[in-house]
Amino acid sequence: MKRANDIFSSLGTTVFTVMSQLAVEHKAINLGQGFPDSNGPNDVRAKAAIFLDDQPNQYPAMMGVPELRDAVAAHAKRFYGLDVDWRTEVMVTSGATEALTASLIGLINPGDEVVLMEPLFDSYLPIVRLAGGIPKLVRLTPPAWELPRAELAAAFSAKTKAIVINSPMNPNGKVFSADELAFIADLVKRHDAYAICDEVYEHLIFDGGKHIPLMCLPDMRDRCLRIGSAGKTFSLTGWKVGYVTAAPALLQPVAKAHQFLTFTTPPNLQRAVAYGLGKDDAYFRTLADELEHKRDLLTAGLRKLGFGVATSQGTYFVSADFSKLGFSGDDMDFCRAITVEAGVAAIPISAFFEGDGPSTFVRFAFCKQDSVLTEALDRLARFIAKFQIR
Ligand code: PMP
Ligand code: GLN
């Protein structure tokens, strides 16, 4: 029998699914896959139910329902001062995952180079390769996760088509500084490239930090595809409603890819997200404040247990170094051990690297009820005490 596609045949199941399944099997608290354990805002869900009932349920417009495209444009103006024409510059997708895929396959020609930063979200690399792109990987290393500027500059060439930038960054909670963004923008412009900006955690920023879309930097407006996700902004990860904002000439090929990937996204969910994006500033502030409190709770608890934890500036996640705990084994061994023996699941950070990555860091998600985080810390404390005696 002939082999199926080599790229996908050689891949394992995503680490998020693997760890979630292991967590279910062992009745573990799942601090692995990033999803909140609340059910999202009541009013947004109620709107989805109403719109399901009293609005059309046939194929909505391929680019997305006008209400949501308009709301995405208004949101960009309100939070970032960006002027966006919803008719020609906004497209709705089935989650940011589809937006990323459509953007990559809509932009890349075989042989184009694409600059990616490790640690990286798991869908980037296979899709770059599927499109025939040549990945140029640049590593950020723990615990500080600083941008290695010389290496990044060296990764760009005349063949560079695009860079993918994820800020706030999964899995390490890094928020790129204004200075780092300016450095990246300069490279993009000098090499006549594009930037695919994965900004799904744009509203999950802590300590008074402000999200800066790369698109807002001088002369970057027409070079960026800005991607957002209602899953993160409304704690509704199962809805899979995403959106891409870009200049018309850049969005058009991406829309051509989208029309053959999913074509549309459930119309009631799109309309409910349009309502959500119009919520008052207090909603967005509270979302970040509540998560910041959870970050603090988990970070303090992990540090007390002996983990090395760099402060997460945004996202749902902290990365924690277990090398001082006396555990022998790598990050995958550690994640399996804490899932099976302690009843707490996490994600090995090496899964976000191609080849050998750092081997003593794990990612914990803190988007959970306080009582769940406290219970997870108690379980980890008992586990650590046990193996330290052995
Ligand atoms: N990018 C990053 C960095 C993510 O963490 C996620 C997680 N869901 C996505 C994209 C995908 O978002 P969505 O669920 O909207 O497809
Ligand atoms: N973004 C989520 C995470 O990093 C998972 C997304 C997925 O399961 N594909 O945990």
Question: Residue 321 belongs to a domain with what CATH number?
Answer: 3.90.1150.10
Task: Check if 315 has its Cβ closer than 6 Å to any atom of ligand 1.
Answer: no
Residues 163 and 61 in one domain: yes
Assign 389 a pLDDT band (cuts: 50, 70, 90): low
The pLDDT assigned to 388 comes to: 74
Quote the ligand 2 centre to 35 CA distance (angstroms): 8
In three-state form (DSSP H/G/I as H, E/B as E, the rest C), the secondary structure along the chain is CCCCCHHHHCCCCCHHHHHHHHHHHCCCEECCCCCCCCCCCHHHHHHHHHHHHHCCCCCCCCCCCHHHHHHHHHHHHHHHCCCCCHHHHEEEECHHHHHHHHHHHHHCCCCCEEEEEECCCCCHHHHHHHCCCEEEEEECCCCCCCCCHHHHHHHCCCCEEEEEEECCCCCCCCCCCHHHHHHHHHHHHHCCCEEEEECCCCCCECCCCCCCCHHHCCCCCCCEEEEEEHHHHCCCHHHCCEEEECCHHHHHHHHHHHHHHCCCCCHHHHHHHHHHHCCCHHHHHHHHHHHHHHHHHHHHHHHHCCCEECCCCECCEEEEECHHHCCCCCHHHHHHHHHHHHCEECEEHHHHCCCCCCCCEEEEECCCCHHHHHHHHHHHHHHHHHHHHC
Ligand located closest to 166 CA: 1
The maximal CA–CA distance of the chain, rounded, in angstroms, is: 64
Give the closest residue (by CA) to ligand 2 atom 1: 34
Residues 48 and 20 in one domain: no
User: What is the Cα–Cα distance from 168 to 210, expressed in whole angstroms?
Assistant: 10
State the residue range of the domain holding 138: 42-280
Residues 236 and 345 in one domain: no
> Cis ω on the peptide bond leading into residue 168 (within 30° of 0)?
yes
Ligand located closest to 120 CA: 1
Residues 106 and 226 in one domain: yes
Q: Note whether residue 240 is domain-resident.
A: yes
Go through the chain and tell me how many residues it has: 390
Task: Check if 174 has its Cβ closer than 6 Å to any atom of ligand 1.
Answer: no
Task: Check if 242 has its Cβ closer than 6 Å to any atom of ligand 1.
Answer: yes
More confident of the two residues 14 and 66? 66
Task: Check if 252 has its Cβ closer than 6 Å to any atom of ligand 2.
Answer: no
Average pLDDT over residues 149-157: 98
Give the residue from 251, 280, 309 where a domain finishes: 280
Residues 287 and 225 in one domain: no
Give the closest residue (by CA) to ligand 2 atom 3: 34
Residue 85 predicted with pLDDT over 80: yes
Q: In whole angstroms, how far apart are CA 262 and each of 60, 79, 95, 122, 257?
A: 12, 29, 10, 20, 9
> Cα angle vertex 40, ends 19, 84, to 5°?
100
> Cα angle vertex 89, ends 126, 98, to 5°?
25
Average pLDDT over residues 159-169: 98
The pLDDT assigned to 390 comes to: 57
Q: Note whether residue 201 is domain-resident.
A: yes
Residues 24 and 50 in one domain: no
Note the pLDDT tens digit of each residue in 211-243: 999 999 999 999 999 999 999 999 999 999 999
The residue among 362, 277, 327 whose CA lies nearest residue 31 is: 362
Q: Note whether residue 1 is domain-resident.
A: no
Note the pLDDT tens digit of each residue in 96-128: 999 999 999 999 999 999 999 999 999 999 999
Q: Report the chain's mean pLDDT, rounded to a whole number.
A: 97
Average pLDDT over residues 4-32: 94
Quote the ligand 2 centre to 121 CA distance (angstroms): 8
CATH number of the structural domain spanning residue 224: 3.40.640.10
Residues 308 and 216 in one domain: no
Q: What is the pTM of this model?
A: 0.97
Quote the ligand 2 centre to 16 CA distance (angstroms): 6
Q: What percent of the chain has pLDDT over 90?
A: 97
Give the residue from 280, 299, 334 where a domain finishes: 280
- Is residue 224 packed enough to be buried (19+ CB in 10 Å), middle (13-18) or exposed (0-12)? buried
Residues 30 and 100 in one domain: no
